């Protein structure tokens, strides 16, 4: 199959502040809602400094350079910049990030900055967090500080990471911090505040930055894909399944439609059957690109009722039990590019394995084929005309997989926690480096 990756394709890798920085007590950083996760972690996993990124900056940037990435996606810790969430700005925090950005830029790597990747200020959570009607403004004022502080160093901002996850899993199912279980009506209002916050944040970033910037959201969902990709009806069925009301906010339409199109999906509003006063206009941001964190999906086929679940037999799973479904990435990328009419960047995709350090060698063959299979499907979407402009492998380093602790390892680089967070490039590191060096030509595309 033809190699379709354009020369300008942004090859990258990704990380987030709370999962990789360490240094929770450094400077005047304020506490976040994740600081208290320790009691929930699997036994034996202490909330240590994790990969301790802040103490390995030069080494890590040298590794990123060796990998050959054009871009490194990293997030800011809100409470390093505004220890109380609003008000007082920490010059220590601002200088810290400036220093990191300057080092990355000096290595010819563009920092793509996620403004908010879940580590919400505890001070604001205690005021009701995203349920508080002032929460969108709090977020926008944080974004103003960010834009003003990091302009002109930063060109690409992901204003928010996966609202689907931090809202639905943090406040409805209670799996993630702050581990709350609110009722559906309260969660819908909170989700609305989150999207209004993102839209105000987008404007604040733009008006406070002195230079031209590009802003998007990193959305996520588990994407349906056609059981038979050449069958027109199965393709239609996959679109129908994407739009279908599921009652679960770990989905695409409830978030991406208001944020990118300015309307709540009617069938979902009806489906929830909860009085809902908003039409979605306030959620509409002037976004430049569509960020998609895509890990997996499920096959569907056409049926008399529109769509039915396809055959899931034989689908492999990662070490967390998530299915491995490369075909989901081509369908989702194409679907999102068409529906939201923005260039798509895959802002996250990756595989967790129980990697074993065998005398300094981490032979992660399954990760090779994961990357090849997903990228070869992405290549297909580009060949079909989808405007896909970049791919960020999650993650650069093995890091804290939130409440699941340190056992799940997604990294291209192994973190040896028992030995000062020593870095060991896994075999997949060289594999991905080759893909980048050949602009995708080395991928096994059948
Ligand atoms: C999140 C990351 C997380 C990864 C793997 C995404 O949902 O943005 O923070 O580590 O998936 O679970």
CA distance to 292, 301, 339, 367, per residue, from 334 (Å): 11, 18, 9, 24
pLDDT attached to residue 47: 83
Q: How confident is the model at residue 115 (pLDDT cuts 50, 70, 90)?
A: very high
pLDDT attached to residue 136: 99
Nearest CA to ligand 1 atom 9: 16
pLDDT attached to residue 444: 79
Q: Please choose, from the candidates 333, 438, 308, 400, the residue with its C-alpha nearest in 3D space to the C-alpha of residue 34.
A: 400
pLDDT attached to residue 158: 99
Helix residue spans in 324-402 (DSSP H): 327-340, 365-383
pLDDT attached to residue 43: 81
Q: What is the mean pLDDT of residues 213-234?
A: 98
214 vs 41: CA distance, rounded Å: 36
- Ligand 1 in contact with 401 (CB < 6 A)? yes
pLDDT attached to residue 309: 97
163 vs 146: CA distance, rounded Å: 19
- Cα(70) to ligand 1 centroid in Å equals 21
Tokens 């700005």, residue located = 89
Mean pLDDT rounded to a whole number for the chain: 97
- Ligand 1 in contact with 325 (CB < 6 A)? no
Query: Which atom of ligand 1 is found nearest the CA of 352?
Result: 5
- Cα(162) to ligand 1 centroid in Å equals 9
Query: Which atom of ligand 1 is found nearest the CA of 16?
Result: 9
Q: What is the mean pLDDT of residues 116-131?
A: 98
Structure tokens at 129: 């967090």
- Ligand 1 in contact with 348 (CB < 6 A)? yes
Nearest CA to ligand 1 atom 3: 401
Q: Which residues are catalytic, by number? A: 162, 348
Query: Which atom of ligand 1 is found nearest the CA of 399?
Result: 10
Phi, psi angle pair for 420, to nearest 5°: 60, 30
Q: What is the mean pLDDT of residues 304-328?
A: 95
Query: Which atom of ligand 1 is found nearest the CA of 295?
Result: 11
pLDDT at residue 28 is higher than 90: yes
Q: What is the mean pLDDT of residues 421-433?
A: 98
pLDDT attached to residue 190: 98
DSSP-assigned letters across all residues of 141-187? HHHHHHHHHHTTT--EEEEEE-HHHHHIIIIIS--STT-----HHHH
- Ligand 1 in contact with 293 (CB < 6 A)? yes
Q: How confident is the model at residue 445 (pLDDT cuts 50, 70, 90)?
A: confident
Q: What is the mean pLDDT of residues 135-145?
A: 99
- Among 41-50, 124-133, 261-270, the minimum mean pLDDT is found in 41-50
Nearest CA to ligand 1 atom 12: 401
pLDDT attached to residue 364: 97
pLDDT attached to residue 45: 85
- Ligand 1 in contact with 162 (CB < 6 A)? yes
pLDDT attached to residue 337: 98
Q: Which residue has the higher pLDDT, 46 or 151?
A: 151
- Ligand 1 in contact with 168 (CB < 6 A)? no
- Cα(274) to ligand 1 centroid in Å equals 30
Nearest CA to ligand 1 atom 10: 401
- Among 45-54, 158-167, 291-300, 423-432, the minimum mean pLDDT is found in 45-54
Structure tokens at 303: 């049926």
- Among 35-49, 57-71, 144-158, 165-179, the minimum mean pLDDT is found in 35-49
CA distance to 120, 124, 268, per residue, from 186 (Å): 18, 17, 16
Q: Please choose, from the candidates 39, 62, 141, 150, the residue with its C-alpha nearest in 3D space to the C-alpha of residue 108.
A: 62
Q: What is the mean pLDDT of residues 134-140?
A: 99
Predicted model pTM: 0.98
Q: What is the mean pLDDT of residues 406-434?
A: 97
Choose the residue to mutate in 176, 320, 348 for probing ligand 1, maximizing ligand atoms within 8 Å of C-beta.
348
């Amino acid at each position: 199959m033809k190699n379709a990756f354009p020369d300008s394709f942004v090859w990258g890798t990704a990380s987030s502040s709370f999962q990789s920085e360490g240094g929770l007590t450094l400077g005047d950083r304020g506490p976040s809602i994740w600081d208290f996760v320790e009691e929930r972690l699997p036994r034996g996993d202490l909330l240590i400094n994790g990969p301790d990124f802040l103490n390995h900056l030069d080494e890590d940037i040298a590794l990123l350079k060796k990998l050959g990435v054009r871009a490194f996606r990293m997030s800011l810790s809100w409470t390093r910049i505004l220890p109380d969430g609003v008000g007082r700005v920490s010059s220590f925090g601002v200088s810290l990030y400036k220093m990191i950005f300057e080092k990355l830029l000096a290595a010819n790597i563009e920092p793509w900055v996620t403004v908010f990747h879940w580590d919400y200020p505890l001070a604001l959570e205690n005021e009701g967090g995203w349920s508080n009607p002032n929460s969108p403004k709090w977020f926008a004022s944080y974004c103003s500080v960010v834009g003003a502080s990091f302009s002109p160093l930063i060109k690409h901002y992901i204003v928010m990471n996966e609202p689907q996850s931090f809202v639905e899993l943090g406040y409805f199912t209670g799996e993630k911090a702050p581990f709350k279980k609110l009722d559906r009506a309260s969660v819908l209002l909170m989700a609305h505040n989150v999207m209004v916050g993102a839209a105000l944040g987008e404007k604040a970033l733009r008006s406070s930055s002195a230079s031209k910037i590009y802003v998007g959201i990193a959305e996520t969902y588990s994407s349906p894909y056609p059981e038979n990709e050449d069958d027109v009806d199965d393709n239609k069925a996959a679109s129908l399944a994407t739009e279908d009301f599921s009652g679960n906010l770990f989905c695409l339409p409830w978030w991406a439609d208001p944020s990118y199109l300015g309307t709540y999906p009617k069938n979902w509003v009806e489906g929830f059957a909860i009085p809902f006063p908003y039409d979605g206009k306030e959620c509409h941001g002037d976004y430049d690109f569509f960020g998609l964190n895509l890990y997996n999906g499920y096959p569907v086929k056409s049926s008399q009722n529109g769509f039915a679940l396809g055959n899931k037999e034989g689908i492999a799973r990662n070490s967390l039990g998530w299915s491995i479904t490369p075909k989901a990435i081509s369908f989702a990328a194409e679907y999102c590019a068409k529906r939201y009419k923005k260039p798509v960047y895959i802002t996250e995709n990756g595989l967790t394995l129980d990697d074993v350090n065998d005398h300094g060698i981490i032979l992660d063959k399954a990760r090779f084929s994961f990357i090849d299979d997903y990228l070869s499907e992405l290549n297909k979407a580009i060949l079909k005309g989808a405007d896909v402009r970049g791919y960020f492998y999650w993650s650069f380093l093995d890091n804290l997989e939130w409440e699941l602790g340190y056992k799940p390892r997604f990294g291209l680089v192994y973190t040896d926690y028992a030995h000062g967070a020593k870095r060991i490039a896994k075999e997949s590191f060289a594999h991905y480096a080759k893909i980048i060096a050949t602009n995708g030509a080395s991928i096994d595309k059948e």
